[in-house]
Amino acid sequence: MSMFFSEAAWCCLAVTAALGSIVLCKHKSPGQLGTPVVWLAGLCGGAYLLVLPFFWSVTLFSLSCFLVHMYSADQELLPVDQKAVLVTGCDSGFGHALAKNLDKMGFTVFAGVLNEKSSGAEALRSNCSKRITVLQMDITDPEQIKDAYSKVVEKVQDKGLWALVNNAGILGFPTDGELIPMIEYKRCMEVNFFGPIGVTKAFLPLLRKSKGRLVNVSSMGGGVPLPKMAAYNSTKAALTMFSSIMRQELSAWGVKVSVVQPGGFQTSLAGTNDVWIKKEKDILDHLTQEQLRDYGQDYILLQKNFLPLIGSKSCPDFTPVLQDIQHAISAQSPFPFYTPGRMVSIWLYFAFLCPTYLLDYCVGKLLFNRKYVPRALRVPK
């Protein structure tokens, strides 16, 4: 009988692997179906290792097939049909690339920009079709949000807005949490959290009318604690929780909510070197004498080396992010979470499941170089 059980378990594993391969070949986006297939393979692999009785092996196999079918059956993309999409933060980065891609797909695109005279805004006007409208939209300015809403309503009229993509955000100055000025914490929260909330509240009536989509671009950092990112990661964690609650509340209205949690990509989120120099000066101006003595000015000045470190660990190809956002906008049954980027889903699951001390050790060893330490920690007492 044990041989029969073994053959049954091998059969379950083989067929599930085949189904998983079909699903992965059919859907290229790495953030969509990789995680379910891994879980299914784990279930069937566990059944084999435990050598379950035949009844439970078949039951587990049937459940696995059902889950694969559930994740693969409703992946048809809905027709564009002149649907309108608003994307914030289109001056550069994800937002700029997404606005151009959606325009090519045939969507009516409203591209919100921080500066309507920026090179990114001009590029959208020059290189895209007449379906795209560039909107002056500082998401921290209620008057600009109100003005953008009026222009969107004027163009979409009774059709409503199909999708809102809250993409605009800032990184802040990555350094020790004690050194980040309160004004920097407040600025990050204003742009990364209160801004998307303000835009969402303004445009939700249009989304409810179309039974459309709300897509919030968060970050892997919203679920994985990373040194020097106290301001940025805290805002993204808040945005992720806000999105999850809105997903529950808006389901009754037929509005689907998705959170995109990208890993490291080479956007302009970190800002220019001039911006970093100014923020560096702000930090030094806000330090107490005790903090300056314990950390040392040399340590603070070395924090700018974190900028090229971020770049070296980031991916220049936005394709995974764009595919996932487009899927969240267009799929018949979009996923609540997308994790584009190398090993992002693994890090998020690892942060959720593993012991805290192990997480802290791995983050410190694998993601960050502890070469630079505060003055008080390297000078003998």
Which residues are annotated as catalytic?
232
> Could you write out the three-class secondary structure of 286-332?
HCCHHHHHHHCHHHHHHHHHHHHHHHHCCECCCHHHHHHHHHHHHEC
91 by DSSP, 3-state: which? coil
- Shortest CA distance to 172 belongs to which of 306, 93, 270, 88? 270
Q: Which two tokens stand for residue 114?
A: 């921080």
- Shortest CA distance to 57 belongs to which of 90, 27, 16, 113? 16
Q: Which two tokens stand for residue 56?
A: 């439970």
CA-derived radius of gyration, the chain = 24
Give start and end residues of each alpha helix (H) in 74-173.
Answer: 93-105, 119-127, 142-156
In 121-219, beta strands by DSSP E: 132-136, 163-166, 213-217
**Which residues lie below 8 Å from residue 154, measured CB to CB, with a gap of 6+?**
none
46 by DSSP, 3-state: which? helix
Report the chain's terminal Cα–Cα distance, integer Å. 70
CB atoms within 10 A of CB 51: 13
Supply φ then ψ for residue 175, to 5 degrees.
-160, 180
User: Across the beta sheet with 256-260, what order do the strands follow?
Assistant: 132-136, 108-113, 84-87, 163-166, 213-217, 256-260, 337-338
Q: Which two tokens stand for residue 1?
A: 């009988």
Supply φ then ψ for residue 152, to 5 degrees.
-65, -45
CB atoms within 10 A of CB 302: 13
